[in-house]
Chains A and B, each alone.
Chain A
Amino acid sequence: MKITGLIIAVLTGALLIYATADFPAWGDPASPASTHVSPRYIEKTIEETAVPNMVTSVLADYRGYDTMFETTVIFSAGVACFLLLRIFRREEPEERLYRHVLTGVTIHVKKGGKLPPSDDFERIDTEWTPHDLIIKTMCRLLIPFIQLFALYVIAHGHHSPGGGFQGGVMLGASVIVLAMSQDLRTAVRRLREKVDALLCATGVFIYAGTGALCLLLGADFLNYRALAPLLNVDPIMARSHGIFIVEIGVGIAVMATMIWIYSNVSSSGKYDEGL
């Protein structure tokens, strides 16, 4: 079987390499890929969309419909993880661990046992978790800056590399860092599962909803020009603003999905103890 696989892989590779013989030369300015559709994207993006970064204008406007579905792919991945992993039946664990905050003493509480309500004890994961002051403090310091930078990346996608996907991943990472440096419960307390799931749907809804709004205003789906009267700008600028609106939607969706997938995978769907 291994030999057959090897032969198939080599043959496929050979076919693919064989075909490159008829490719245009490397970096050829006269190749079809650089002469057929790209010149319009390169030369007219400012004129037609008022976005200096042509990658953004191709991604979110000329081929914005594809990007809407790419965002939907991420959304589907989140929903799929939830559907497959999430376990709702909450079984009480055999043993819970609490740490006395002041002394650092760990207390084991057996199933059914209870601790008197007090602020002196904090629940910790059953796997041994040291009281790590350096990591916790550093992450607490870093998280606001990560989030600030993420917002910059989303907002500045029109001018520099960046946009909703990249910024959304950073926003998601900031919450995941919190979950890793503290524990999953802390992160979930900050962003409840339900809120996260609703944000996930809302993000993609903003994108597709913008498209549908254009439709309702009488233009084609996702033709941001139709938004001009609503935004009180000229149709070209409306395209630029339309791109920004959908980038925000992408950012929210990607952030929420990252967190959703992390929480489900790291706690194998139980939402109590993570990595």
Chain B
Amino acid sequence: MSQHYPTLLVTVPLLAAFIISAAGWINKRLCFPFAVATLTVAAYSCVGLLFRVLHEGVVHYRLGGWPPPWGIAYYVDQLNGLVLSVISVSALINLIASKRSIEREFPEKIGPFYTLYVLFVTGMLGITVTGDAFNLYVLLEIGSLTGYALIAMGDKDRAPLASLNYLYMGTIGACFYLLGVGYLYIVTGSLNMVDIASILPGLYQSKAVMTAFIICMVGMWIKMAFFPLHGWLPNAYTFAPSASSSLIAPLMTKVMIYVMIRFILTVFTPKFAFSTLAVSDSVVWLAVIAIVMGAIFALAQRDLKKMLTYIIVAEVGYMVGGAWLGNRAGMTGAILHIVNDALMTLCAFLVVGNIVYKVKGYSFEDLKGLFSKMPFTMGAFVIGALSIIGVPPTCGFFSKWYLISGAIQASHYGFVVALLFSSLVNVVLFFRIIEIGYYEPFGDHHGHDHHPEPMAEAPLSMLVPLFIVAAGLVLVGLYTGDIVNHIIQFVIPKGLL
């Protein structure tokens, strides 16, 4: 079966989604085990595929048996393999961790919720694995549509509006991408990424190709919430139910960054993106603004979840900036940060999920005394926070290191300053929360009769996945060298120094 991994990792969740949907009408208790089994198979296929790619090089797969460019083909290289593994593993971990909160929040609608959950993961995996520009768009539709529904299930008063906003922005973004692909089709006659890449070099001077590139990029920037196109993200992720926000926040933006890097590296070559177009410097400056503004907005927030969403906006700036620095170190940092940021965001949002499950709120007020109430959750939170700040040996340090050295190599000191500034702001942000959680409430009682609050920790089914992610943050940090030398190094074309 291993030669079919590329298609299994998409079609197994797809088929399972229909079965889960039917099971929701027959026996609700079947949905969860089925979803777990499905995502386990998907994760197994993804990791298996990654190892196969590491041993054998690029894996090709033809859908329907038609040779490309006539049919749709999958190309899996180290970059896809890595991102696929991250997506499937984090979706699986989050599924297990969110079981309790899903059962509590939507007891009657477990079936459709898990159906959309699995379909969302199918969409994300499909976007990442495909080698066809139009197939990518179709999967993007699935990922977005299910995402809107999963988000709108949150806070009764505010989530539907936030989701509607996201729907408008997301639709515009997807339209831009589709328009760009349409322009490419008009001038090349092909939808296959590798085929387009082989036709394009003769057309680099064409205005249509240039416009196609710009529109595609803007579309992706909207979908990944790159400042100033981030307007939809904070509310959508804040008011979503915990299970959805910890699924969508780590995956959606990161997958779109993968798509951007794929377009820069494979479809349009780095030569076209960085030299012919001469916009890379301005994009990096945009990224600088994104990082600074994301950090400032995060400082202004008075609740944990919204603060994290603005940190995501800043992190998107890291990755876009790193990718557009136009050198090897910057690109390595951006790709490494896709993995790291997915794990860090997952860790942070799982912590929020646990807090919401127990305390039923996530504003700074609700965090008082949490270290004595939920010591294990907050322990994992500290690891996540250290990683987002960028303290070794957590993984956040290493990607930031590559990004900064890339910026220095490109003599782009604005980006260096922005990265350092945002790290400092993150220190302030997280230590403020640790302070509230550890030292407050104080001042109410004088003397020594102050008793710590009794422990009320989240159930084990939520804690264990959280610990796995927190341990993952450290492990990925320790094995950064291997990831870079065995995986990322092969992704970046030799010409990019």
Question: How many angstroms between the C-alpha atoms of A41 and B189 in the bound complex?
Answer: 13
Contacts of B64 on A, CB cut-off 8 Å?
Answer: 61-62, 64-65, 220-224
User: A77 on the interface (CB 8 Å rule)?
Assistant: yes
Q: Judging by beta carbons under 8 Å apart, are A194 and B149 in contact?
A: no
Q: Judging by beta carbons under 8 Å apart, are A208 and B146 in contact?
A: no
- Contacts A64-B64, A197-B21 given; does A32 touch B189 at CB 8 Å: yes
Contacts of A63 on B, CB cut-off 8 Å?
Answer: 71-72, 134
Q: Judging by beta carbons under 8 Å apart, are A77 and B69 in contact?
A: no
Does more than half of chain B's interface fall in helix, strand or loop, or is it mixed? helix
Taking CB atoms and an 8 Å cut-off, the chain B residues in 115-162 that contact chain A are 115-116, 119, 122, 126, 134-135, 138-139, 141-142, 145-146, 148-149, 152-153, 160
User: A198 on the interface (CB 8 Å rule)?
Assistant: yes
Q: Judging by beta carbons under 8 Å apart, are A194 and B179 in contact?
A: no
Question: How many angstroms between the C-alpha atoms of A18 and B146 in the bound complex?
Answer: 35
- Contacts A37-B190, A212-B15, A220-B61 given; does A22 touch B207 at CB 8 Å: yes
Q: Judging by beta carbons under 8 Å apart, are A82 and B112 in contact?
A: yes
Question: How many angstroms between the C-alpha atoms of A24 and B185 in the bound complex?
Answer: 11
Contacts of A202 on B, CB cut-off 8 Å?
Answer: 18, 22
Question: How many angstroms between the C-alpha atoms of A37 and B112 in the bound complex?
Answer: 40
Question: How many angstroms between the C-alpha atoms of A221 and B73 in the bound complex?
Answer: 11
Within the complex, the shortest CB–CB distance from A107 to chain B, in Å, comes to 33
Interface size for chain B: under 10, 10 to 19, 20 to 34, or 35 or more residues?
35 or more
Number of residues on chain A facing chain B (CB within 8 A): 60
Contacts of A68 on B, CB cut-off 8 Å?
Answer: 14
- Contacts A65-B63, A222-B64 given; does A205 touch B116 at CB 8 Å: no
Identify the stretch in B210-218, B299-307, B344-352 within 8 Å (CB) of chain A at 4 or more residues.
B210-218
- Contacts A22-B187, A36-B190, A215-B7 given; does A84 touch B63 at CB 8 Å: no
Q: Judging by beta carbons under 8 Å apart, are A19 and B109 in contact?
A: no
Question: How many angstroms between the C-alpha atoms of A38 and B188 in the bound complex?
Answer: 12
A residues neighboring B (CB under 8 Å): 15-16, 18-24, 31-38, 40-41, 61-66, 68-70, 72-73, 75-77, 79-80, 82-84, 86, 88, 194, 197-198, 200-202, 204-205, 208-209, 211-212, 215, 219-225
12 A-B residue pairs with CB within 8 Å? A15-B214, A19-B183, A24-B187, A61-B66, A76-B116, A76-B145, A79-B119, A79-B149, A220-B61, A220-B65, A223-B64, A223-B65
B residues neighboring A (CB under 8 Å): 4, 7, 11, 14-15, 17-19, 21-22, 25, 61-66, 69-72, 108-109, 112-113, 115-116, 119, 122, 126, 134-135, 138-139, 141-142, 145-146, 148-149, 152-153, 160, 179, 183, 185-191, 199, 206-212, 214-215
